[in-house]
Chains A and B, each alone.
Chain A
Amino acid sequence: MTDWTRRQIGGLAGGALLAVAAPHIVRGQGRAKVVVIGGGIGGATVARYLGDMKSIDVILIEPNSTHVTCFFSNLYLAGLRSLASLTFGLETLAEGHGITIIRDRAVAIDPAGRAVELRGGTRLSYDRLVVAPGIAFKFGEIEGYDEAAAKIMPHAWIAGPQSELLRRQLESMDDGGVFVIAAPPNPFRCPPAPYERASLAAYYFKQFKPKSKILILDAKDKFSGQELFQDAWSRHYPGMIEWLPSQFTGAIKAVDVAARSVVTEGETFRAAVANIIPAQKAGLIGEKAGLTDASGWCPVDPVTFESTLQPGIHVVGDSIIGGDMPKSAFSANSQAKACAFAIAASLTGSPQFPPHLFNSCYTFLAPDDAFTNALTFAPEGGRIKTVKMFISKVGESAEVRRRTAHHAVGWYSAFTADVFGGGS
């Protein structure tokens, strides 16, 4: 094992090293160092906002050179957007925001020694650590569904190769086939997304494979935005989408990959294409580092996002127990900003503000029919609680929905610019 020195930083970091020259005395020892694990939405946002403060050294650890956004990836599945248009490099964070990026995977955390170990053997010390590991799957809860099975029955719940696989399967499916979506139990990443996926797959089928059907086998008895979805399904795709709650099927027990079938307590369903979205938990490094509780998720302080289990380590994004906040990219971004300001306050004495937490989501029912929600949250009694909320209603005019779909596209550009840099 080697001690990490600046010379060992990859080529991406070149610009960043020049940008961090302004001296700022912390604890009389030089600049404070924050290590961020995970270059997804939460991690990239923390890194970017800390980097912009120019008073802290920020190191982002991420094995991939690019990030594919889960949000809008259902549009890709329906053939409405390219995957390239959902893919963001991390270079702008390094070049424009003073962040050092290390292309490696964090394999262990030493909370007592305040250090992170990377797969490449490097040991990185930190003053504060931010862990943004996203989600992992509880393989094994559905018998026969594991990582190998996911290569045949994709989950497509982490965007990228899995999305491409599912898209290829939908494209090669015969007209008249049944596309089965197994929707996961709560809590999971992006609550409306399985149903948005059904909507947009139906849009694709309606044009190219109109005899096809979509069957949603749900682990739940109700779902997010249910009334809005069911209204849209009857307007746009009558007779095409069938949703079966857990109380009807007795929930999914097993999959038979070879037979392409999904086994519930009461019945076995044959699928032309099966999209199995398993139950979820915090990303694996969270569990390894002792950041998760019995629920499999990471409990945090709702003001600073510091772990309640491991002092000095902050956690943001889908992996936390977020109270009323859904596991969404926008929530992760909002938590990440609050976390960055809390870290800066503790390391540099910059002012600490009470966190203002938001979520804003757009969900497509068809290319020109989208709904939206906007929520504000605040910590209360150690938990994040909803303060105000807006959600689109059933019965809105086609014009309102068209405008919402148009706003969604603008939201996507502005939001991704905020996360990955390039915005102001």
Chain B
Amino acid sequence: MTTPIPRVMVPGSVTRNEVFTVKAIIQHQMETGLRTDSAGKTIPRKIINQFVCRYGELEVFRADLHEAVSANPFLEFQLLATENGRLEFSWREDGGATYSLFHDIVVT
């Protein structure tokens, strides 16, 4: 029913061996599975259950999310880059769908 919109904020270029901040958010309702509809039927759980960030092949950040996480989960974390590379962000939804974004970082 929902169409999640993922978005990240990463600096355009980063300094080698210097920590930088990554922000990631996805528009998602995070249906907990604990609510009922107007007919009293349980609304099935549908949440983003995992977020992963890869730097090339290397997994550099991962978070497992649960029902208590708010709608539009927002994550902020720090990375350190040693060379140019591609960051991949992916959000995994209950049911197996994933939503991904890529961002090339330039190290100076």
A binds B: yes
Mark out the residues of chain A between 225 and 278 whose CB falls within 8 Å of any chain B CB in the assembled complex. 226-227, 230-231, 234-235, 238-239, 241-245, 247-249, 266-267
B5 adjacent to A242 (CB under 8 Å): yes
What is B's interface to A at a CB cutoff of 8 Å? 1-3, 5, 7, 9, 23, 25, 27, 29, 35-39, 43, 71-72, 74, 76
Residues of A within 8 A of B74 (CB): 245, 247-248
Say whether A397 faces chain B, with CB atoms less than 8 Å apart.
Answer: yes
* In the bound complex, CA of A396 to CA of B43 (Å): 13
Q: Give the residue name and chain of the B residue nearest to A238 (CB).
A: B3
A239 engages B5 (CB within 8 Å): yes
Residues of B within 8 A of A243 (CB): 27, 72
The smallest beta-carbon distance between A397 and chain B, in angstroms, is 4
> Could you say which residues of chain A place their CB within 8 Å of the CB of B5?
239, 242
Once the chains bind, are B38 and A266 in contact (CB under 8 Å)?
no
Give chain B's interface secondary structure class: loop
Interchain nearest-CB distance for B21 vs A (Å): 9
Tell whether, in the assembled complex, residue B71 and residue A244 are in contact, meaning their CB atoms are under 8 Å apart: no
CB-CB nearest in chain A for B43: A395
Binding site for B on A (CB under 8 A): 226-227, 230-231, 234-235, 238-239, 241-245, 247-249, 266-267, 394-397, 400
Q: B7 contacts which chain A residues (CB < 8 A)?
A: 242, 244, 248
Top 6 closest pairs, chain A to chain B, by CB: A239-B3, A397-B38, A234-B2, A238-B3, A266-B9, A242-B5
Give every chain B residue within 8 A of A230 (Cβ-Cβ). Answer: 29, 71-72
A-B contact pairs, 19 of them (CB 8 A): A230-B71, A230-B72, A231-B29, A238-B3, A239-B5, A241-B27, A242-B27, A245-B25, A248-B9, A248-B74, A249-B9, A266-B23, A267-B9, A394-B35, A395-B35, A395-B36, A395-B37, A396-B38, A397-B38
The residue in chain A whose Cβ has the minimal distance to the Cβ of B39 is A397
Q: How far is the CA of A397 from the CA of B1 in the complex (A)?
A: 17
Q: Which residues of B contact A238 (CB under 8 A)?
A: 1-3
With a 10 A CB-CB cut-off, give which of B2, B35, B39 has the most chain A CB atoms.
B2
Whole-angstrom CA separation of A234 from B35 in the bound complex: 16
Chain A's closest residue to B9 (CB) is A266
Q: How far is the CB of A92 from chain B (nearest CB, A)?
A: 42
> Which residue of B1, B25, B29, B38 contacts A248 across the interface (Cβ within 8 Å)?
B25
**Cβ-defined contact, B36 with A227, below 8 A:** no
Bound state CA distance, A227 and B43, in angstroms? 15
- Complex contacts, A248 vs chain B, CB 8 Å: 7, 9, 23, 25, 74
Interchain CB contact under 8 A, B71 and A227: yes
The answer, among A235, A244, A249, for a CB contact under 8 Å with B1, is A235
